[in-house]
Amino acid sequence: MSNIEIEDVGRVRIVRLAHEKPTNPVGKQTALAFMAAMRDADADENVGSVVVTGGENRCFSAGGDFNEARMLSDDEIVNDTIDWCTDLYLSVLNMSKPTISAVDRHAVGLGFQLALMFDWKLMSTRADLFMPELEHGIGASMGATIITTACGYDVARHVVMSCRPIGPEEAMRLGMMDEVCEPEFLLDRAIQRANRMSRYPGIAFAATKKVLTEHMRRALEDTRAASQHVHRESFRAKAMTKHFDNILGTVQETEVVSAG
């Protein structure tokens, strides 16, 4: 699979975002490969739970792929991008098995939003969550919908409008993360949690999760058209063009980039 690595540790399926850049940008092909990996894990009787990570000493995901985002000048491409982003998030929510995210370094924009889709969320002490879209002229409608649904209006308003990173302590206080640990223990802790949750009787877990995630799934579906409109208008205005050019021209692989 493109930019995705799969490893099984007992009944835990580890899905690694494995882009050649350690920032782990997510474009359409990576998203499609990720969705296929989630479907395969859900259908595999030998898999009890799924852990998603960006890999050792790598970002969970610093957002969308700027090489693709820079091409979002056509309305149909913008609409398609919002569709696959929405489907990416839904692929986690639709899993009948427990899912755990292990966030290290940075989760930005799309990466931030993806990290919030999981049943249990872990974060390293050096990680942060970041949604800087508005200061770069990019619509933040999907992020606003996701954070409002998960954490409430005032939290979403603050995160989206401030455009500043959220560290582990604040992420825990806001209910965005469930556990924080040192980076070297992050994957092991995620696997431990996954093993525990995989022992829950499957039928009861799947039925409960379906009810628990219904509000988020519905919110994502309901915001598709509105988010497509917001992003069409944003990209038509080209306010983010200078930002994209600066990032693609000068950024080092270890720097944080924002997402669409």
User: How far is residue 100's CA from residue 177's CA, in Å, rounded to a whole number?
Assistant: 11
The CATH number for 204's domain is 3.90.226.10
Whether 258 maps to a domain, the answer reads: no
Q: Which two tokens stand for residue 148?
A: 């409002």
244 — pLDDT class (breaks 50, 70, 90)? very low
Say what the pLDDT of residue 72 is. Answer: 55
The verdict on residue 259 lying in a domain is no
Domain membership flag for residue 201: yes
Note the pLDDT tens digit of each residue in 203-222: 999 999 999 999 999 999 99
Q: Is 57 contained in some domain?
A: yes
Are 6 and 36 in contact by the 8 Å Cβ rule? The answer is: no
The reported pLDDT for the residue numbered 48 is: 98
Q: Would the pLDDT of 107 be above 70?
A: yes
pLDDT for 58 beyond 90: yes
Is residue 260 a part of any domain in this protein?
no
In a domain, 198, yes or no: yes
Residue 250, pLDDT above cutoff 50:
no
Q: Containing domain of residue 129, as a range?
A: 4-250
Is a pLDDT exceeding 90 seen at residue 96? yes
Could you give the CA distance from residue 129 to residue 109 in angstroms, rounded to a whole number?
Answer: 8
Other Cβ atoms closer than 10 A to 71:
14
Q: Nearest 5 degrees, angle CA 63-CA 258-CA 16? A: 20
For the chain, give the longest Cα–Cα distance. 52
Quote the percentage of the chain above a pLDDT of 90: 79
Based on the structure, what is the number of domains in the chain? 1
Task: Decide if 145 is inside a domain.
Answer: yes
In this predicted structure, the answer to whether residue 247 has a pLDDT above a threshold of 80 is: no
pLDDT band at 65 (very low <50, low <70, confident <90, very high): confident
Domain membership flag for residue 256 = no
